[in-house]
């Protein structure tokens, strides 16, 4: 009886997709927007003498830095596939550098806007490759 119920509830069709949702949901601009927020928080921190404001700026900067990493990880692990890494052999290292720049050794642990600029540069390099792959698709 129970086996009959399980068989009746099993899907009859298997669907296959190369991404979690239809193409177009991935975009490096999400990471870039958060990285721009990180840099803005750094600049606002340096422009203020208010200790509470500065503490909030640091907190937001660290939160946004983590969000940059999450957006980059999704692109790295979900969007880019082996053929991309073959065509762009620098891609893994580029993602590694970018996520480290968004981490404790980068914008999360720094108040230097130049570090944010470095992160933005890496994101722009990733975005360039991303858009090339979208044209080829």
For residues 88-108, give the mean pLDDT: 97
Per-residue pLDDT tens for 100-124?
999 999 999 999 999 999 999 999 9
Give the pLDDT confidence score for residue 13 in this predicted structure.
63
Q: How far is CA 35 from CA 13, 16, 63, 122, 135, in A?
A: 42, 34, 11, 11, 25
Q: Tokens in use for 24?
A: 């177009």
Give the pLDDT confidence score for residue 104 in this predicted structure.
95
Q: Is 22's pLDDT higher than 80? A: no
Per-residue pLDDT tens for 27-49?
999 999 999 999 999 999 999 99
Tell me, yes or no, if the pTM score tops 0.75.
yes
For residues 16-24, give the mean pLDDT: 52
For residues 85-114, give the mean pLDDT: 97
Name the CATH superfamily for 30-136: Nickel-containing superoxide dismutase (1.20.120.400)
Rounded CA-CA distance 9/25 in Å is 31
Spatial contact of 119 and 132, defined as CB atoms under 8 Å apart: no
Spatial contact of 88 and 130, defined as CB atoms under 8 Å apart: no
């Amino acid at each position: 009886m129970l086996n009959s119920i399980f068989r009746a509830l099993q899907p009859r069709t298997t669907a296959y997709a190369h991404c979690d949702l239809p193409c177009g949901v991935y975009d490096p601009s999400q990471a870039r927007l958060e990285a721009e927020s990180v840099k803005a928080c750094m600049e606002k921190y340096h422009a203020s003498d208010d200790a509470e404001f500065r503490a909030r700026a640091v907190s937001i900067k660290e939160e946004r830095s983590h969000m940059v990493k999450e957006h980059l990880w999704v692109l790295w692990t979900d969007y880019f596939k082996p053929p991309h890494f073959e065509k762009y052999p620098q891609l893994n290292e580029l993602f590694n550098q970018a996520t480290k720049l968004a981490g404790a050794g980068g914008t999360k642990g720094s108040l230097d806007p130049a570090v944010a600029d470095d992160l933005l540069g890496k994101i722009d390099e990733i975005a360039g490759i991303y858009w090339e792959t979208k044209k080829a698709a």
